[in-house]
Each structure stands twice: as C-alpha cells, then as structure tokens.
Structure 1
Amino acid sequence: MNNPLDIITIFRVSALLFLLLSAMTWMMLGRPRRGATLLWCLGGALVGVSVWLISLRNQISDFWSYSVAQTLFLGSFLVLSQSLRMDMHRVWRWPWPVAAVLTYGATIVLGFDDKGAQDLAVLVRLVNCAGLTILTVSAWQLAHQERSRNAWFMTLGYGLMTASMGIAALATMQGLANLETLQSSMVSHILGGTSLLTLLLSYMGYLGLALERSLRQNMALRQSQWQSQQWHERSHALALRDRQHTLGVLANSLGHAILQPLTATSLQLQIVRRMLQTATPDAQKVQTSLVQVVQGLRRSADMVEHIRSFLRPAPTAVTAATQPLQSVVQDAHDLLRQALIYQGVTLHICLPPNPLYVRAERLPLTQALVQVLRNAMQAVQGRVHRTIGVSMAASATEVWIEVTDSGPGFVHHWLTSNPAHAHPSTDPMAGMGLTMTRGILAQFQGRLSLENLDGAGARVRMTLPLQAGQGTD
C-alpha cells in the first residue's frame, strides 16, 4: 500500500474523484432535478461506486465485488450514453438498456459459480469494452453535432478508456490477465491510470460544454433582445408614418370638419348681436345662444386637438384605462366622415344601446379601427355598391367590432399563409396597417381575425377582453 502506484489505491482514488466531481458538477450546474445533466452526474456516481466495489475485491463478498460491481459498471456507461443522447434528442427507450443490464447481472450471478473463472473475466472485459464503445460513439456524435472542442475532449477521454479496455480484453483472452490479479497485473495498472486520465478529460469537457452552451444562450438572448428593440423602434416609426399617411388622406375633410362648427358659431354670434341691439333683449335667448357658441368653439378645439393627438407619436408606456368601445367607433367615424362622402361610400353603423367597456387606450384603438376602415374603403372602390358595415357585439368575456365591406374579399392565399399581412387592396400600406392593427390589439390582450363573406366581401373582427361585469347575453 505504500507504493505510490499501488493499483488498489489508484482505483479507490478514482472512485472517490468520480463521486466527488459528480456531486460538484451537479451543484455547479444548478442542482437539476431532471434532464440530461442529472443523468450524467448519476452515471459518474455509478462509475465511482462500481470502481470502489472492485477495489474491495477479496475483502468483501464476491456478490458485491463481482456481480454488483460489474453490473453497475455497465449500467454507468449506458446511463452516461443516455445522458449524451438526451442532449442530441436521440433518447433510447429505457426498457432496452435496463433489460441489457439486468440480463448481464443475472448472467454473472447464475452462470458462473467460480467468480475467478477465466471465461467470466473474458465476458466482463468484452462487455465493458462494448459499453465504453457505445459511450465513446455517443460522445463523438455529440461533439460532431455541437461542434464543440470540449465535447471532443470528452470523446478523447472515453476513447482512451475504450482502447485500454480493448487491450485488457485481448490480454484476458490470451490468458495474460484475469479479474483476480489486481495488484500484480500490468493490465490493471493500465486501466487504473487510464481511468484517472478519462476522469480528468470527461469532467473538464462536460463542464466546458455546459459553459459553451450557457454562452451561446446568453448570446442568443442578447441577439433576441436587440432584434426586439429594433422591431419596437421600427414599429413606432411605422405607426407614426401611418398616422401621417392617414392625416394626408383626411386633409380634404379636415377643413370642412373644422369650418362647419366655426360657421355655426359665427351665425350664433350674429344672432346674439342683433338680440342685444333690440330695445328689450331677451336674456334667456341670449344665454342660450352664447351656450351654443361656446359648444361650437369647443367642438372645433376638440377636433384640432384630436387631430394633433392622432399625429403625435404614441408614448412608450401604454396607459390603459376603462373605455366605452362605442366612443372608439364614433371617433373613427368622425375622422373618416368627409372621406366617406367624397368617395361615395355608404357606412352603416349598428351599435348596442348600452356601453361596452374595455380596458385599453383610446387613441391606439381608434388608429387601429381607422386603418381597418381605410382598407375597406379602398376595397370597395370600383364596385357598383360601395357599402361598409360596422357592428359591435359581446359575449360574457369578450367584445368585438366587425367591419364588413362589399369589395372583392381577401385573396385565399393571404388568409391561409399569414392573415396578418392579408389585404384586399393593392396599397402596400394596407398589409402593414393590418399588421400594426394586430400589434395594437395584442397590447390589450386582443386579436384580429380575417375572413371572406359568402359571395363577395370581407369581414374583419377586432376582439378585446370585456371589462368585468359588462357582458351581455
């Protein structure tokens, strides 16, 4: 035992290192309770237990030092191989390796009364060589798939152990070695030294592979965050561009929308002036007329502010509040009223008498509905009957706005491939508008659905969660 190359000491040191490094690896990698990492650490622990039992040969019962030790040794190789195959998504069905291990163990227990028999030694060495070959091939496949230098270190370590076990099998078949002569056999010294080298290469390689995967995941996460930031920036730019485009389309109607209340206000002021010029002005009528003047000015101011808000970029943080969905329809109608008249489009609006509330931001929802209506207006151009319908309904948990038109409908390919980019018109802004509409609805847990009507026409449904307690049957 004082010899530093004492084979029993080498076996026990290897066993303790396998047990210690398996536990340390398990803790360093986050103490997983399932998955490939836990299985790999369990396989390493099984190697340690089996090697320790082998080192106690002639000191404990042959059942433990031969039957149990060799069965665990083969089982550890198969468990390690299964762990590597789990990383490659090529998992064996568990009954097969379990059946192989149990059959091997039963063969040693029942087939050989003399545990020192040369036939048993040949069988053990050949089976161990086969198990190590399977493990080496699994490591090679993983290294090829991962393209990892650390995985190749693992393959090298297992390959050296396989080669040394192959040499031991040849020596055993020639009668130069057996399972009894641990201390005097050169083959045992080769196996003991190779096991230490395999231990070093395999654990260093596995920890390095785990580090590589972690770095790749971090890089992928940073790339995803950067792409998400770029998408949000482009989405905001697109939203602003679409609002400006919409404002350009509505420019012809803005003058009339603002001029009409101002003209009515001017007439009311003239009436008030004439009342005051009479000998006995009626104070009640004057007050009523002044109230109408104030209302007209407020309508004009509200229209100007509404257009400015529509053009202004949306804030980064969306502040949701309870909104009556009917007001969103009314705002969209006010913005498009004159454009509908100029294009000769008839808009039919059917809304429920009771308010239906959603928790959302009013301006983005208005923008989304305006985009849908603009697409419908473009779709009905060139049709004999240019009609668009807007209706609203609700269930116990959801409320939706449906926009139908008498246009040609959506192209079937667009509906089946990517509904978010489908649009019935030839305007390239339309498809992007529907994509933006879907994004706006998604901010408030809503969704956008498209379909064609029987015969002709299209239907677009904007669905949102109904505020609690506001559902209808």
Structure 2
Amino acid sequence: MFNLPTAYLLVGLMYLVMPTVAWAVLSGLRSRSAWLWCTGSALFGVGVVLLGLRPHIAEWAAYPLANGLMFLANLVRAQALLYELQRPPWRRQWLLGLGAGFVIGYECLRLGLDEYPTLRFLWSSTTLAATFFYISLLCWQIGRRETSRSAHWVAGTYLAVGSALVLRSLAVVNGVSEPNALFGGWDSLFTIGASLISSVVGSVGFIGIFLERARHNDLATAAERAKRAENERLSAQIAQLDRQRSLGAMSASLGHELNQPLTAILLDAQMGLHGLAQNRLDTAQLHKLLHHIEANTQRASHIIERIRSFIRPVPEQYKPVELGQLVQDVAQLLACEARRCNVEFAFVLPPTAVWVQGDDIQLSQIVLSVYRNAIQAMMGQPEPRQITVTATPVPGWMLLHFCDTGPGLTLEAIAQAGQPFFSTKADGLGLGLSISRTIAERHGGTLEIANHPQGGAQVELKLPAPH
C-alpha cells in the first residue's frame, strides 16, 4: 500500500540531494543566483521532510515551520531568477516579512479557526501555488530571452506543480478530497509526483541554463572572433589595394624618380667605356666613375625596394620603427611629385631618434596618404607651398603633426574627414584617410584632422610610445 509520509520524505530527500549536486557543479562560477537557487531548493526539501514527519514531530514544526520553509524557499528561488533576469532583487526585509506574514496567517487560521480546516489548507496550497506559478513565469522569461530549452523545461515543471496544487485545492473545496496534506487521494499522488519531478528537473534544468549560456557565449565569441579576423583580412586587402592605387597614380612621378639614377648610371658607364677606348682614363677617374655607378645603383635599388615593399601583401610585423627616418623615406618616395608641384618638405625632429612599436609599411601608408592629400590641396595655391612635419615625444605617446600651407578644410569636411567614401576631391574614393585612421587605431593610436591656427590643414598622428 502506498505510504504518503514516506513519499513526502522521498521528495524531501530529493530536494536536498539535487541542489547539493547542482551546487557542486556550479560553485566554481561563484554565481549569487546559483547559490540562492540551491539554498532555496534545500530549504524546500527541509520543509517537505518535516511534512513527511508530521505524525512524529511537534505541531509547530510539522505545520507552520514546514509550510513557512516551503513558502520562503520559493521566494528565495524567485530571487535567484530575478538575478538571472538582471532585475532589481527583493530586499531581504521583504522576503523575511512575506515569510513571517505567511506563517502568521497560517497560524491564525490553524489556531483561531480550527473548526474551518479548509481555509487553512486553501491558504497554504493557493499561496504556494502562486509562488510556483511566479517561478514558472520567470523561468519562461529566461527561456525566451536566452532561447534556453532548460529554462522552458523548468518553467513547465513548476507550472505543473502549481497546477497540481490548484487542482488539489479545487478538490478540497468541492468535497472530493480532504484538507490534509497526508490524505492519500489521487490529488495528493498527483501533487507528490509533480513535486518529485520538479526536484530533479528544477536542479538539472538550472544547471542546464548555465551550460546553455556558456555554449551560446562560446559560439558568440567564436563568431565574433571569426568576424574580427575576416574584417582584419578584408581591411588588409583594402589597404594593400589602396597602396597599389596610390602608387599607380604616382607611376609617372616614380618613373621619373627612377629614371634619374638609371640615366646617371648609363652616362657614367658610357664615359668609362669611351675613356677606356681612348686610353684617357687613369685609375682615380675610373674609381670615381665606378663609385658614381655604385651610388646611383644603390639609389635605384632603394627606390625599387620602397615600391616593392609598399605594394606587396605582407602580414603585420610589429617591430621598433624610427618615425623620423620613416617620414623622410616616404617624402623621398614623393620627391618627384613634390618638385613638380613646387612643394617643399620641412622636418622638425628631435635630436634623438623617435621610436614606436608598429608595422613600418602600414605606418608609411598613413604618412603617404597625408602627404598626397596635402600636395593635392596646395595645387593652385600661392607659394610657398610647404609640408611641415613635427615629431614631439610626450609622456606615454609620440605625436606627429603634418601641417600644410593650403586653404584648409571646411567645417563639414572636418566633421566627415576619415569616414569611408567621403572625399573633397572629385576623383577621390574617400578611403585613404579612413584606412589611415583604422591603421592608427590598430596600433593603439589616433588620427585627428583639423585646421591649423595659422592657416592650412593639420593632421595629428598619435601613437603609443614603447615601454
């Protein structure tokens, strides 16, 4: 024959064992909501155990304490779910006040109106049912927010327990059942069965919420990492294409720049051959011609190497970069174009080297973009046309200022400069400064554009100083 107190003891023990298992799994997370959920489940288990021991213990423990613990346990579990939903939790005073109010109301009905046991029973069962429904609602909201099947399972289970208590209350009101928790009718069996299932599903489901969240977080992190890697790959390709486009637009100037040392090499070689043929070259003259040929060959080689390194796709290589040398090397790359436009470079550099940690090719791309914009802005402007480059070390940073003597920028251009596809030039793509700003940010720095107080535009490149 089915023994109802034994069933309550079994359910109570399950409510004690399962939160212990859950806490063993979740304790490493140091989650307040996990601690509250496991504590509440354990308190509910103690209340159910006292209910099963009702024939053998004092009335104050079997009635008000048992029911009070179960009511308070559900409030604590609801508190845990409020933390999970990131909602303001109830104050501790409110929890204790609600628990005390429930016990006082129960005792008043038990002692003052003992001839009406149905009221006492309805007070405890409907109040507990309301807390189960509230827990179910909170779990359902978590499930919807996080697309968590575990939360939906917990919500469904606690909805079943609350429904079982409501059905039992209706059975008592209609005289089908007795207002006694130890009455072994079908409604009691249904309530105990639902409670037993909730003891397991509640704890396992709560663990599942954390595991599903961890899985979702891992997937989101992996997706974000893949997106970031793809963006970096595309950014690198766009930057390389922009470098190639820039050098393509400079091809005539670069050809002229390269033609100078090659022409000098040819002339020196012809003079040497002619002198040897006429037997009019001594050792010193031959040495001088060969020295000129060697110097111009190295000059041509440096120009070619700068072009090759600037356009070839290479992975980022962060290493010490001397900014003073870099800004002068890029100026040499634009020397012919600058001469053609009557633009001069002026460098105001510290007496000691200015070092930063970065990718020299990418930093060169920033400088080249700034130079070319300045040269194009000064075309048609009265002379002198000058680009002044100033390097200033400040605590923790290295500042590069590029100032030109052009017309400056409008307020609209300053506000939108550096945004993708915005350009003040009719044939501009609007990518140069946008790419430059992205490169600066990847180096931990900034790129700002403004008008210089004395006229012209000013670009400030701010890079972190090496530690």
TM-score by length of 2: 0.83
Deviation at 1:9, TM superposition (A): 1.8
Mark the CA change 1:81 to 1:378 in structure 2 (over 3 Å): closer, same or farther. farther
Residue from 14, 21, 27 that aligns with 1:17 = 14
Task: Say yes or no: does 1:397 pair with 2:393.
Answer: no
Mark the CA change 1:430 to 1:335 in structure 2 (over 3 Å): closer, same or farther. farther
Amino acid in the other structure paired with 1:39: L
CA contact (8 A) 2:323 2:355 kept: yes
Partner of 1:325: 323
* Distance in 2 (alpha carbons) for counterparts of 1:242 and 1:332: 16
Deviation at 1:111, TM superposition (A): 5.6
* Distance in 2 (alpha carbons) for counterparts of 1:106 and 1:452: 75
Deviation at 1:354, TM superposition (A): 1.8
* Distance in 2 (alpha carbons) for counterparts of 1:430 and 1:327: 29
Q: How big is each residue's C-alpha offset from its partner over 1:281-310, in whole Å with a ceiling of 9 and x where there is no partner? A: 474x65455434322221111111221111
Mark the CA change 1:202 to 1:390 in structure 2 (over 3 Å): closer, same or farther. same
Deviation at 1:17, TM superposition (A): 1.9
* Distance in 2 (alpha carbons) for counterparts of 1:72 and 1:429: 74
- Secondary structure (helix, strand or coil) at the match of 2:466 reads coil
**How many corresponding residue pairs?**
460
Partner of 1:104: 101
Partner of 2:461: 462
Task: Say yes or no: does 1:255 pair with 2:255.
Answer: yes
Partner of 2:166: 166
Deviation at 1:132, TM superposition (A): 1.9
- Secondary structure (helix, strand or coil) at the match of 2:431 reads helix
- Secondary structure (helix, strand or coil) at the match of 1:460 reads strand
Query: Structure 2: where are the runs of 5+ without partners?
Result: none
Partner of 2:246: 246
* Distance in 1 (alpha carbons) for counterparts of 2:293 and 2:13: 94
Deviation at 1:195, TM superposition (A): 0.8
* Distance in 2 (alpha carbons) for counterparts of 1:60 and 1:40: 28
C-alpha RMSD of matched pairs (Å): 3.7
* Distance in 2 (alpha carbons) for counterparts of 1:376 and 1:273: 45
Partner of 1:194: 194
Partner of 1:450: 449
Q: How big is each residue's C-alpha offset from its partner over 1:71-104, in whole Å with a ceiling of 9 and x where there is no partner? A: 3312222232233333333343434642444533
Mark the CA change 1:145 to 1:446 in structure 2 (over 3 Å): closer, same or farther. closer
Mark the CA change 1:379 to 1:50 in structure 2 (over 3 Å): closer, same or farther. farther
Partner of 2:43: 46
Residue range with higher mean Cα deviation, 362-371 or 383-392: 383-392
Q: How big is each residue's C-alpha offset from its partner over 1:420-448, in whole Å with a ceiling of 9 and x where there is no partner? A: 54855246865433333233334433332
Residue range with higher mean Cα deviation, 131-140 or 183-192: 183-192
Task: Say yes or no: does 1:57 pair with 2:54.
Answer: yes
* Distance in 2 (alpha carbons) for counterparts of 1:456 and 1:185: 94
Deviation at 1:234, TM superposition (A): 1.6
Task: Say yes or no: does 1:351 pair with 2:349.
Answer: yes
* Distance in 1 (alpha carbons) for counterparts of 2:32 and 2:378: 58
- Which runs of structure 2 are paired with 1:65-464 in the superposition (5 Å)? 65-95=62-92, 97-104=94-101, 107=104, 114=111, 117=114, 118=117, 120-170=120-170, 177-178=178-179, 182=182, 184=184, 188-203=188-203, 205-206=205-206, 209-210=209-210, 212-266=212-266, 281=282, 283=284, 287=287, 290-315=290-315, 318-381=316-379, 383-384=381-382, 387-405=386-404, 406-409=406-409, 412=412, 415=415, 421=420, 425-426=424-425, 431-453=430-452, 457-464=456-463
Query: Structure 1: where are the runs of 5+ without partners?
Result: 469-473
CA contact (8 A) 2:71 2:99 kept: no
Mark the CA change 1:146 to 1:465 in structure 2 (over 3 Å): closer, same or farther. closer
* Distance in 2 (alpha carbons) for counterparts of 1:69 and 1:384: 94
* Distance in 1 (alpha carbons) for counterparts of 2:101 and 2:359: 70
* Distance in 2 (alpha carbons) for counterparts of 1:163 and 1:145: 24
Amino acid in the other structure paired with 1:199: S
* Distance in 1 (alpha carbons) for counterparts of 2:413 and 2:92: 47
* Distance in 2 (alpha carbons) for counterparts of 1:457 and 1:75: 73
* Distance in 1 (alpha carbons) for counterparts of 2:414 and 2:46: 62
Q: How big is each residue's C-alpha offset from its partner over 1:306-328, in whole Å with a ceiling of 9 and x where there is no partner? A: 2111121112xx33322211111
* Distance in 1 (alpha carbons) for counterparts of 2:4 and 2:345: 94
* Distance in 2 (alpha carbons) for counterparts of 1:95 and 1:381: 74
CA contact (8 A) 2:79 2:90 kept: no
Mark the CA change 1:467 to 1:139 in structure 2 (over 3 Å): closer, same or farther. closer
Mark the CA change 1:361 to 1:266 in structure 2 (over 3 Å): closer, same or farther. same
CA contact (8 A) 1:380 1:407 kept: yes
TM-score by length of 1: 0.82
* Distance in 2 (alpha carbons) for counterparts of 1:199 and 1:428: 71
Q: How big is each residue's C-alpha offset from its partner over 1:341-387, in whole Å with a ceiling of 9 and x where there is no partner? A: 33444444322222111122322211221122223334445555655
CA contact (8 A) 2:14 2:200 kept: no
CA contact (8 A) 2:12 2:46 kept: yes
Partner of 1:471: none
* Distance in 1 (alpha carbons) for counterparts of 2:43 and 2:450: 60
* Distance in 2 (alpha carbons) for counterparts of 1:32 and 1:25: 12
* Distance in 2 (alpha carbons) for counterparts of 1:26 and 1:427: 67
Deviation at 1:171, TM superposition (A): 5.6
* Distance in 1 (alpha carbons) for counterparts of 2:122 and 2:66: 16
